[in-house]
C-alpha cells in the first residue's frame, strides 16, 4: 500500500523522482579566545566575509532576476546591517574569533526577532542562511546547499533559503518538499515563479530516506512514498491531462458562459515581464515597486531612476491594465530612511501607507515618477496604496495622487479586516479595491504568514477569509466599482472559480499560474462558481470549504 503524506501544496504540477536531502547546516564554531592584539585582524576578516557574502547574494539575484532579485538584495542588506556588524566588532574586541563573533551576534539578533511577537520569525530562515554563509566563508568550508547530482531528483529540506530556491535548476530539481514554511513564504513564491512543483509545512519530511522514490503533487499537497506502477500511471495521466487542458485554453480569462474575468500578473520588476507576456497576462494586477528601494536602505531612489524602471513595465502592456502598488515598506521590509527602528511590533505599527504619509516627499516623488513614466503611453494606469485601514487613509492617498497630477485611477488594498468591513466607505474616496489575501489572512487570524506552525490559518480557503472577500466584492458592486484579488489565493485554480463566484472582478497571480486558472474558469458557468462559493462559505474549515466547492463544481 502506498504511504500518503499531506503538506501544503504551493506550486502546481507533479514530480516523481528519488529523494535528495539538502546539505547539513554549518557547524557551530568553537568558542576560542584570541589575544587583544589579534582583534583588529579578526574584525577585518569579519568585514571581508560579510562584504563577500553580500556581493554573492546580489550576484545571485542579478542572475535570477525578477522576484528573486528583490528577495536576495534584501538578504544582502541583512548581511550588512550596521547594528549587527557593530555587535560583531564588540564581541571580537573582548576575545571572540571572527567566526564566533558572527555566530553569537546573529544568535542574539535571532532571539530579538523571536521575542518581538514572532512577526519577523519568517525571516529567521533568511537570517540563518546569511549567518551560515558568513561563518562558512570564515571557516573555509563549503557552504551547505543544494546537493550535486547528475540525475534529476526531488529535493527535501527543513527549509529553503531564497538564495538556494532562486537558482534551482528545474531540469535537475523536479520538485521540492520542506518541513517548514508556508504558502506565502519567499521560497513558495519563488517556486511558483520557477514552475517547480512544491509542498511545504510537511512535518517529518526529513525522515524520508535518501534515494526513496516519492511523488509530489504540488496542487493537492500530497506526497506518495514509493508509489507503485498504478499510482505513478494515475499521477502521470492526471499531469498529462492538465497539460493538454492548459494548451487548449488561450485568450482572455472568462467563465464558460462568457463572463469576463481578466487574468493579470503579479510582477516584482521588469525582469518578471517576459514570463507574464508569454503566459498571456492581460495586464499587471500587482506591480511591486519595492525592488527599486532595496538598493540603498538609507535613501530613496531618484525620480529619474524610478521613471526608467516603471516605463519598462508599462511599455510591455500597451492597451493593457497595469496596477502599481506604491512602496510597501515596514515590518519585514524595513528601510532605514523610512521606517522606525524601535517599534515593539512592526507588523502593527508604521508600515505601508502609514510610512508614506509620515514621509510625504517619498510618496510625492514616486507618484510624480509614475505620472512621467505613463506619459504618452496607451496603458491604463492604476495606482493603489497598501495597508489602508479606513476612509481617512483612502482620502489621504487619493488627495496625494491628485496633488501629484497623476492621470490614473486611485485604489486601496484590502489587507486589514477593517477595510473589508467598511469597503463602501473607502470606495467613496477611491475607484477600486484590490484584495491582498496573504496579509488579510495574517491580520484576520493573528497568524504570521511565514510561520509553518500556523500555516492552516494562512490557508486562503478559510471560510472567515472568504466572508471578508465577499464583503469587499459586494461593497464594490454596490458602488459600481471593481474589486480584484492580487494575493496568492488567485493562483489556486479551484479557488479562482470560488473568488469569481464571490463577485471578484479580476484575478492577479504569478505568471506560471495563469494558464491553470484560465483553464479552470473556462470549465464552469458564473452560476456554478456562485454555487461553489456559497457552499464553501457555509462550512467551518478550510478543508471542508475546499471539498464543498469541489463537490459542487464536479457535479457530485
* Inter-residue contact 287 to 327 (CB < 8 Å): no
The owner of cell 496604496 is 385
Comparing CA positions, the residue from 488, 546, 517, 518 lying closest to residue 192 is 488
Cell of 41: 585582524
d(CA 195, CA 511) in angstroms, rounded, equals 9
Residue whose C-alpha cell is 570564515: 138
Q: Is 359 a catalytic residue?
A: no
Tell the residue number behind the cell numbers 506526497, with chain if given.
223
Phi-psi region of 166 (alpha: psi -120 to 50; beta: other; left: phi over 0): alpha
Residue whose C-alpha cell is 487574468: 263
Q: Is 497 a catalytic residue?
A: no
**Catalytic option among 483, 486, 497, 529:** 486
SS (H, E, C) 181-217: CCCCCHHHHHHHHHCCCEEECCCCHHHCCCCCEEEEE
Catalytic residue among 186, 359, 401, 497: 186
Grid cell of 197 as nine digits: 512543483
All cell numbers assigned to 44: 577585518
d(CA 238, CA 224): 15
Decide: residue 34, CB within 10 A, 0-12 exposed, 13-18 middle, 19+ buried: middle
Looking up cell 550576484 gives 59
Q: How far apart are CA 271 and CA 122, in angstroms?
A: 25
91 three-state secondary structure = helix
DSSP 96-131: B-HHHHHHHHHHHHHHHHHHTTTGGGGGHHHHHHHH
DSSP β-ladder status, 173-178 and 283-288 = unpaired
What are the catalytic residues? 186, 486
Amino acid at each position: 500500500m502506498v504511504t500518503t503524506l499531506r503538506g501544503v501544496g504551493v506550486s502546481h504540477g507533479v514530480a516523481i523522482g528519488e529523494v535528495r536531502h539538502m546539505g547539513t547546516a554549518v557547524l557551530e564554531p568553537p568558542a576560542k579566545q584570541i589575544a587583544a592584539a589579534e582583534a583588529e585582524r579578526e574584525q577585518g576578516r569579519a568585514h571581508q566575509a560579510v562584504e563577500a557574502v553580500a556581493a554573492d547574494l546580489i550576484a545571485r539575484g542579478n542572475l535570477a532576476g525578477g522576484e528573486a532579485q528583490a528577495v536576495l538584495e534584501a538578504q544582502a542588506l541583512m548581511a550588512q546591517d550596521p547594528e549587527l556588524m557593530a555587535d560583531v566588532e564588540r564581541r571580537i574586541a573582548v576575545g571572540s574569533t571572527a567566526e564566533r563573533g558572527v555566530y553569537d551576534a546573529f544568535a542574539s539578533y535571532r532571539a530579538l526577532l523571536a521575542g518581538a511577537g514572532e512577526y519577523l520569525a519568517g525571516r529567521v530562515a533568511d537570517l540563518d542562511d546569511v549567518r551560515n554563509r558568513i561563518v562558512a566563508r570564515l571557516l573555509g568550508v563549503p557552504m551547505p546547499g543544494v546537493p550535486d547530482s547528475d540525475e534529476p531528483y526531488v529535493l527535501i529540506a527543513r527549509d529553503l533559503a531564497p538564495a538556494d530556491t532562486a537558482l534551482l535548476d528545474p531540469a535537475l530539481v523536479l520538485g521540492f518538499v520542506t518541513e517548514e514554511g508556508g504558502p506565502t513564504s519567499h521560497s513558495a513564491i519563488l517556486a511558483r515563479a520557477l514552475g517547480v512543483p512544491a509542498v511545504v509545512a510537511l512535518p517529518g519530511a526529513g525522515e524520508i530516506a535518501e534515494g526513496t522514490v516519492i511523488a509530489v503533487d504540488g496542487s493537492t499537497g500530497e506526497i506518495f512514498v514509493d508509489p507503485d506502477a498504478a499510482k505513478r500511471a494515475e499521477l502521470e495521466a492526471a499531469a498529462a491531462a492538465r497539460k493538454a487542458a492548459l494548451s487548449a485554453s488561450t485568450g482572455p480569462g472568462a467563465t464558460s458562459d462568457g463572463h469576463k474575468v481578466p487574468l493579470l500578473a503579479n510582477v516584482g520588476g521588469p525582469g518578471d515581464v517576459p514570463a507574464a507576456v508569454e503566459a498571456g497576462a492581460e495586464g499587471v494586477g500587482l506591480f511591486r515597486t519595492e525592488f527599486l528601494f532595496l538598493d540603498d536602505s538609507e535613501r530613496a531612489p531618484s525620480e529619474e531612476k524610478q521613471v526608467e524602471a516603471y516605463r519598462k513595465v508599462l511599455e510591455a502592456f500597451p492597451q493593457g491594465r497595469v496596477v502599481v502598488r506604491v512602496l510597501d515598506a515596514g515590518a519585514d521590509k524595513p528601510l532605514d530612511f523610512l521606517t522606525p527602528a524601535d517599534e515593539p511590533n512592526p507588523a502593527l505599527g508604521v508600515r505601508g501607507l502609514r510610512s508614506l504619509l509620515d514621509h510625504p516627499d517619498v510618496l510625492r516623488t514616486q507618484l510624480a515618477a509614475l505620472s512621467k513614466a505613463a506619459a504618452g503611453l496607451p496603458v491604463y494606469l492604476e495606482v493603489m496604496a497598501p495597508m489602508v485601514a479606513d476612509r481617512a487613509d483612502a482620502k489621504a492617498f487619493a488627495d496625494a495622487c491628485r496633488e501629484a497630477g497623476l492621470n490614473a485611477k486611485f485604489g486601496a488594498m484590502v489587507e486589514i479586516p477593517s477595510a473589508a468591513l467598511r469597503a463602501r466607505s473607502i470606495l467613496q474616496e477611491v475607484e477600486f479595491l484590490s484584495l491582498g489575501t496573504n496579509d488579510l489572512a495574517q491580520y484576520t487570524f493573528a497568524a504570521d504568514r511565514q510561520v509553518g506552525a500556523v500555516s492552516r490559518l494562512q490557508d486562503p480557503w478559510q471560510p472567515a477569509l472568504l466572508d471578508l472577500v465577499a464583503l469587499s466584492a459586494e461593497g464594490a458592486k454596490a458602488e459600481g466599482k471593481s474589486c480584484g484579488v492580487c494575493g496568492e489565493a488567485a493562483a489556486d485554480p479551484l479557488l479562482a472559480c470560488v473568488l469569481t463566484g464571490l463577485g471578484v472582478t479580476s484575478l492577479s497571480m504569478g505568471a506560471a499560474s495563469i494558464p491553470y486558472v484560465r483553464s479552470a474558469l473556462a470549465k464552469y458557468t458564473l452560476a456554478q462558481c456562485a454555487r461553489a462559493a456559497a457552499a464553501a462559505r457555509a462550512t467551518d474549515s478550510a478543508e471542508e470549504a475546499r471539498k464543498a466547492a469541489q463537490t459542487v463544481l464536479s457535479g457530485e
